[in-house]
Chain A
Amino acid sequence: MRNLFRLDEYFARSMCHRGGGPTNASPVSRSGRARGARTSNAASRCTGTPARVWPLAFYSAWVAVLTAGSLPQAAGAASAPLQSVLSPAGIQATRIAHLWNLTLIVCSGVFAAVLLVLLVAIVRNRRSDHRTTPDLSSLAQPEGNTRRMVVAATLLSSVLLFGLLFADVLTDHALSTLPVANALTIEVTGHQWWWEARYPSGRNGDADHFTVANELHIPVGRPVIVRLRTTDVIHTFWVPNLHGKRDMIPGRDATIEFRADKAGTYRGQCAEFCGFEHALMAFYVVAESPAAYDAWAAHQRGAATLSAGALLQRGQQVFTSGTCASCHTVRGTSATGTLGPDLTHLMSRQTIAAGTLPNTTGNLAGWIVDAPRLKPGTTMPPNRLAPADLQALLAWLGTLR
């Protein structure tokens, strides 16, 4: 394979007198001459004409484009940082991103090497057609040189693979040993198709825990342990900027540990296909300073503040005496349903229905009137409310900050 070092020569040769080069000619020279006598059968179109060049050019161009296309990604220049593997915002995701970079480099090298050998083989070889005498010399004398090259390539591959394995195991070990002293524990339950998160009790015992939906807040710099549950099918908890994913499996307990090191809002999405609205089962993780987190938690822990006013009271009545209360809880009222999200602090969320819509009054109205139209398959039924009732309900919901 020392021929590899004389690439330019081979390119040059293959361009001008492909097929009839003076070197290496001994075992096969006869058909080199035979070619001249060839008639216009289909094979002739495929040999020895410049038409050969453009496919090769394409080949090389593709290699270039594809490799170039993936490198900036590796450098973290991703365009969608909201939910991306390549812009880590926490130690776990960072470790994985480092492993990704290493693996990408090794694999690109292997890919390039294979293609290079292939290209050179294509370019340097003389052409033949179906009448070319097969070269049976390999049956008589073993091809020692070639064999050494194949063995060397195999050994090199094994070494590279062992290297990768080593890096994988190290990273895996690091991921599973994140120090979790003083961790915040959250219990997240997957439902078809939304997320319920139970935050732990505060200083006052168990009565103090609180439940939110589809939007988690976590303090930056403090490890988080998420206990994963599901009430129906398998869902997968995944916030790519913070960590890899973990399945929520009926009948099995699982946890995932991570830490956000950069403040920001990160999107997560259910990754395991869980039926109809698997696509619209997203959530947000807001990583904020410990102080901001504490303030948020204290607020969420409290019951809803119910303000006076005829309209608002009417709204609350629509909610608690209507069907809503059978599925939703608003702490501080008589509504204690558990089939749907806890709405105590509904207005503190940026989106409704697991990331389906921005949390605006218009969207809320649309959702309440006909949720299945906005999110086909959702278990929340359409509600035919009198316009006045709807207005009142919306106004009241608007106070659930």
Chain B
Amino acid sequence: MNPSDERRRPKRVSTEGPMSEAVGASSPPVAVLDVSHLPSFGYGHRSLMWWSTLGLMLIEGTAFAIGVMMYFYLRSLAQVWPLNAPPPDLLWGTANTIVLLASMVPNQLAKRAAERGDRRGACLWIWVCLAFAVVFLVLRGFEFAALNVKWYANAYGSVVWLLLGLHTTHIITDTVDTAVLGVLLITGPFEGKRLVDVSENALYWYFVVLSWVPIFAVIYLAPRLQL
């Protein structure tokens, strides 16, 4: 079954030229590798979607990391930090962090249900996740207001708005994503692959949640810490 076991010592090929005909349809007695029994989808790294999600996470993780580096770079040049502004209020940010972290529970349940092949369970938990996302987005509005600085005030304001804005964009796109998937799970048309989508969606949701933790620390805690 594993073709790499069959490697032989190479021998000279005929001078006729390339061996393309060997792969063609002509010679009857070739043994074939029958793949008709293979599953039509798989979870985790067996799925193509998993790889694209991973790629997206790498890209966006890099973007977040660079955003954070911009923050500390600007900070390293400043005499005082934050520049002419009190640090952001902790209330909404903390509340939001709790909501986000809590959303990991339904998220994990949706993922498990999907991987069990349980369409109804996946659908249920995805909608619970969505409810969390909506709460979260509302809280995010208050968070922007509580930053205590405007983006046009100074470079500090610019960079915290950038960080928060970047993360919010991800939450919004992931929310829309999840919503579409949620609707699709209810209305159909349904096929098994959808469950893989639910599982990858959960993976991405984890990423959005977990990347928030360092960003939270940078926006809310770093200004309070005198390094």
A140 touches B15 (CB 8 A): no
Q: List 9 A-B contacts (CB under 8 A).
A: A130-B17, A131-B15, A131-B16, A131-B17, A132-B15, A133-B15, A134-B13, A139-B10, A140-B10
For chain A, give the interface size range. Answer: 10 to 19
A34 touches B10 (CB 8 A): no
Q: Looking across the interface, which residue of chain B has its beta carbon closest to that of A135? A: B12
A34 touches B15 (CB 8 A): yes
B9 touches A140 (CB 8 A): yes
Residues of A with C-beta under 8 A to B16: 131
A400–B14 Cα gap in the complex (Å)?
Answer: 92
List B residues 14-58 near A (Cβ within 8 Å): 14-17
List A residues 20-55 near B (Cβ within 8 Å): 30-31, 34
Instruction: Convert A271-292 into 0s and 1s, putting 1 for each residue whose CB lies closer than 8 angstroms to a CB of B.
Output: 0000000000000000000000
Residues of A with C-beta under 8 A to B13: 133-134, 136
For chain B, give the interface size range. Answer: under 10
**From B9, B10, B15, contact of A31 by CB (8 A):** B15
Residues of B with C-beta under 8 A to A136: 10-13
List A residues 111-139 near B (Cβ within 8 Å): 130-134, 136, 139
B10 touches A133 (CB 8 A): no
Nearest CB in chain A: distance from B9 CB, A? 6
A30–B16 Cα gap in the complex (Å)?
Answer: 12
In order of increasing CB-CB distance, the 8 nearest A-B pairs are A136-B10, A139-B10, A133-B15, A131-B17, A133-B12, A131-B15, A34-B15, A140-B9
Nearest CB in chain B: distance from A314 CB, A? 51
Residues of B with C-beta under 8 A to A139: 9-10
Residues of B with C-beta under 8 A to A34: 15
B15 touches A30 (CB 8 A): yes
Which residues of A are interface residues toward B (Cβ below 8 A)? 30-31, 34, 130-134, 136, 139-140
Q: Looking across the interface, which residue of chain A has its beta carbon closest to that of B12? A: A133
A182–B13 Cα gap in the complex (Å)?
Answer: 80
If over half of B's interface residues share one DSSP class (helix, strand or loop), that class is named, otherwise mixed; here it is loop
Total A-B pairs, Cβ < 8 A: 21
A131–B10 Cα gap in the complex (Å)?
Answer: 18
A130–B9 Cα gap in the complex (Å)?
Answer: 23
Residues of A with C-beta under 8 A to B15: 30-31, 34, 131-133
A134–B17 Cα gap in the complex (Å)?
Answer: 9
User: Which of B12, B14, B16 lies at the interface centre, i.e. has the most chain A CB atoms within 10 A of its CB?
Assistant: B12
Residues of B with C-beta under 8 A to A132: 15
A211–B27 Cα gap in the complex (Å)?
Answer: 91
A133–B17 Cα gap in the complex (Å)?
Answer: 7
Nearest CB in chain A: distance from B75 CB, A? 15
Residues of A with C-beta under 8 A to B10: 136, 139-140
Instruction: Convert B74-109 into 0s and 1s, putting 1 for each residue whose CB lies closer than 8 angstroms to a CB of A.
Output: 000000000000000000000000000000000000
Q: Looking across the interface, which residue of chain B has its beta carbon closest to that of A139? A: B10
Residues of A with C-beta under 8 A to B12: 133, 136
Residues of A with C-beta under 8 A to B9: 139-140
Residues of A with C-beta under 8 A to B11: 136
Nearest CB in chain A: distance from B3 CB, A? 17
Residues of A with C-beta under 8 A to B17: 130-131
A130–B17 Cα gap in the complex (Å)?
Answer: 7
A335–B196 Cα gap in the complex (Å)?
Answer: 78
A31–B16 Cα gap in the complex (Å)?
Answer: 11
Nearest CB in chain A: distance from B102 CB, A? 44
A344–B10 Cα gap in the complex (Å)?
Answer: 87
A30–B14 Cα gap in the complex (Å)?
Answer: 11
Having A131-B15, A131-B16, A140-B9, one finds 10 other A-B pairs with CB under 8 Å, namely A34-B15, A130-B17, A132-B15, A133-B13, A133-B15, A134-B13, A136-B10, A136-B12, A139-B10, A140-B10
A139–B14 Cα gap in the complex (Å)?
Answer: 17
A31–B13 Cα gap in the complex (Å)?
Answer: 12
Q: Looking across the interface, which residue of chain B has its beta carbon closest to that of A34? A: B15
A388–B49 Cα gap in the complex (Å)?
Answer: 82
A50–B66 Cα gap in the complex (Å)?
Answer: 59
Q: Looking across the interface, which residue of chain A has its beta carbon closest to that of B13? A: A133
A31–B15 Cα gap in the complex (Å)?
Answer: 8
Nearest CB in chain B: distance from A216 CB, A? 31
A140–B10 Cα gap in the complex (Å)?
Answer: 7
Residues of B with C-beta under 8 A to A30: 15
A30–B12 Cα gap in the complex (Å)?
Answer: 11
Residues of B with C-beta under 8 A to A31: 15
Nearest CB in chain B: distance from A291 CB, A? 45
Q: Looking across the interface, which residue of chain A has its beta carbon closest to that of B18? A: A130
Nearest CB in chain A: distance from B156 CB, A? 15
A140–B16 Cα gap in the complex (Å)?
Answer: 22
Q: Looking across the interface, which residue of chain B has its beta carbon closest to that of A252? A: B77
Nearest CB in chain A: distance from B127 CB, A? 52
Nearest CB in chain A: distance from B72 CB, A? 18
Residues of B with C-beta under 8 A to A134: 13
A272–B12 Cα gap in the complex (Å)?
Answer: 60
Residues of B with C-beta under 8 A to A140: 9-10
